[in-house]
Amino acid sequence: MGVEDVPMLIPPQMPKLVNNKIHLGGGAPLAFIDDEEGVILLKEEPAPPEEQKPEPEPEPEPEPEPEPEKARPIQVVLANEDDHGFELDEAALESILMQEHVRDLNVVVLSVAGAFRKGKSFLLDFMLRYMYNQAATSNKQSKMKWSSNAWIGGNDEPLTGFTWRGGCERETTGIQVWSDVFVVEKKDGSKVAVLLVDTQGAFDSQSTIKDCATVFALSTMTSSVQVYNLSQNIQEDDLQHLQLFTEYGRLALEQIYEKPFQKLLFLIRDWCYPYEHDYGLEGGNRFLERRLQVKQNQHEELQNVRKHIHACFSSIGCFLLPHPGLRVATNPHFDGRLKDINEEFQRELQELVPLLLAPENLVEKEINGDKVTCRDLLEYFKAYIKIYQGEELPHPKSMLQATAEANNLTAVAGAKDTYSKGMEQICGGTKPYLAPADLQRYHEQLREASIKQFRGVKKMGGTEFSHRYQDQLEGELDELYANFIKHNDSKNIFYAARTPATLFAVMFVTYIIATVTGFIGLSVIAMLANLVMGVSLLSLCAWAYVRYSGEYREVAEVIDLTAEALWEQVLKPLTEQYMEDNIRQTVVNSIRASLTEPVASQSSRLKSN
């Protein structure tokens, strides 16, 4: 049969054949099927189920990087309102002062203290603006000078930093320190750490006189610049409040002839008499000179207050600041924007802050003439806070005593170290045995040199106070000398053989006693003597084992002490007595011989005649 005779089903348009399958449009593929009659049929093949693509798993959101902790005021001295006590938060203070980049730098501490609700925190926030502006300027290596007034900020910039607010209730309690320590390079190239400190306002309705005095004293003792924040004028009670702390300075001055505190700046806020004394430092110093002048016709109490202030602070100044304006005083929503502050106040503020914080004006903290680092300041804080944890307000001399005690103990430690190093070079370690007389001579020389070193160190507290520590030093040197004697004696072979020699002597004596008493029938005494001899023999064996093995050293120490006691109390006196008797008998025999010899010679001559 020909090809044309074969019946075929031909669609008008043949679909495209793909892999032996026909695809029609977008439908399911058609398959070729040969039936028995040889006709090619198209059969629709069921479409395979569409593969469902798995939904992509949502990618985990990246964890946000922890933001660096923002700078903030940190409470380092906590005030307990229940018992009106104060406590130092050592961990908080360490987190500030022991930062690696500042802990060994000399520190500048600027503190603001005074009555409450007088704008101390408000003033400190402008100081923060100044310091951050200068830090940014230094980082950019800009040619802008430190005296530039751009630091004060924009007119619409709120004032942030130490917490402050308007109103009549107190805001700050205890003592707060700003968490950022500013590193400033001075003109000579040295770097210092600058610390800004805010204090609890004094004389509020919740604080006792002790609370106020404690905060002010701590602030004054730990700061290099104390800003005494006052309102409108310097009144006599303001000076009398200082007298409690200047008493400490008076005592220290009598003892060491140095002023204990550094710079004091009276800051008179809301000065109302510019027609008498101009705003600023120059007018303030003229005003302060008149206010602190000691006059002959003044009462003795008033004179003493002024003398004490001059005697306690190495530098005293005064700055007169105008009122910031009614918007500041009366607007409850005031947030520190410059547009609400009197321009005259801004102008004087631009003079005050650089006067305190410009590199050439920074005052480094000193105690007893020595520069203080951040690390040292932490220790002084710890020492001072202990004074105020008692029940009663301490006498100002207690503050002196805290510092003087630290100075004297440091001097004692230095003198002891000098003595120990000298003695180690003479008889310590592997040095050979030294004759006791020579060791005594070296001890006396080094002891005298150490005491002389202690006396030569500049110390607080005066001669009478330091005399106690000198006595302590002498006692500790004698203890060290006793230890060096033992160490030196241990190198003497005869000293090391004292214990076995003593035990052997005891055994020999008890053996003789046991033999004699047993021979004459005193069996009880003989048994006791044999018992002592046996104990001595066992002790000698035990001592030898300990010395050989190094074990049970406590047993050897007991045996050594017992043998030493026997030697000192029994054998040595008997030996000395025996030797003394022998010497006395020898001398007597010599004298007798010398006296009888002439008589014998004379009688022999008479016989010969």
How many C-beta neighbours within 10 Å does residue 233 have? 13
pLDDT of 454 > 60? The answer is yes
379 in Cβ contact with 107 (< 8 Å): no
pLDDT of 597 > 80? The answer is no
* Chain segment 154-163, per-residue pLDDT in tens: 787 888 877 7
Phi, then psi, of 335 in degrees rounded to 5: -120, 20
Q: Give alpha helix (H) positions in 368-496.
A: 374-387, 396-427, 436-456, 462-489, 493-496
Burial-class residue 451 by CB neighbours within 10 Å (0-12, 13-18, 19+): middle
Q: What is the 3-state secondary structure (H, E, C) of 150-191?
A: HHHCCCCCCCCCCCCCCCCCCCCCCEEEECCCEEEECCCCCE
3-state secondary structure of 457: coil
Q: pLDDT grade, residue 540 (50/70/90)?
A: confident
How many C-beta neighbours within 10 Å does residue 503 have? 23
Distance CA 559, CA 553 (A): 10
Burial-class residue 108 by CB neighbours within 10 Å (0-12, 13-18, 19+): buried
How confident is the model at residue 225, as a pLDDT?
92
Distance CA 405, CA 384 (A): 11
Strand ranges in 65-210 using DSSP code E only, listed in sequence order: 73-80, 85-88, 106-114, 175-178, 182-185, 191-199
Distance CA 349, CA 121 (A): 14
pLDDT of 236 > 80? The answer is no
Q: pLDDT grade, residue 355 (50/70/90)?
A: very high
How confident is the model at residue 608, as a pLDDT?
63
* Chain segment 245-302, per-residue pLDDT in tens: 656 434 433 445 567 788 999 999 888 888 888 998 999 999 898 888 887 787 777 7
Which of the pair, 566 or 189, is modelled with greater confidence?
Answer: 189
Tokens of 351: 């003079």
pLDDT of 198 > 70? The answer is yes
* Chain segment 387-408, per-residue pLDDT in tens: 666 555 444 444 556 678 888 8
What residues does 315 pair with on adjacent strands? 263
What average pLDDT does this structure show over 458-465?
Answer: 78
How confident is the model at residue 504, as a pLDDT?
78
488 in Cβ contact with 434 (< 8 Å): yes
What average pLDDT does this structure show over 6-23?
Answer: 43
Question: What angle (nearest 5°) sits at the alpha carbon of residue 16, between those of residues 15 and 22?
Answer: 70
3-state secondary structure of 103: coil
pLDDT of 44 > 60? The answer is no
Q: What does each C-alpha distance from 481 to 467, 473, 486 come to in angstroms?
A: 21, 12, 9
How confident is the model at residue 339, as a pLDDT?
82
Burial-class residue 115 by CB neighbours within 10 Å (0-12, 13-18, 19+): middle
Burial-class residue 453 by CB neighbours within 10 Å (0-12, 13-18, 19+): middle
Terminal C-alpha separation, the chain: 201
* Chain segment 64-75, per-residue pLDDT in tens: 554 556 788 888
Q: pLDDT grade, residue 599 (50/70/90)?
A: low
Q: Smallest Cα–Cα separation from 123: which of 364, 358, 356?
A: 356
Q: How big is the chain by its Cα radius of gyration, in Å?
A: 48
How confident is the model at residue 248, as a pLDDT?
44
Give the relative orientation of helices 236-256 and 300-312 as an angle to the nearest 10 degrees: 60
Tokens of 580: 């003394």
Tokens of 365: 């903290």
Distance CA 182, CA 151 (A): 15
Distance CA 393, CA 384 (A): 13
Q: What is the mean pLDDT of the chain?
A: 75
Q: State whether the Cα torsion 77-80-85-89 is positive or negative.
A: negative
pLDDT of 376 > 50? The answer is yes
Which of the pair, 170 or 222, is modelled with greater confidence?
Answer: 222
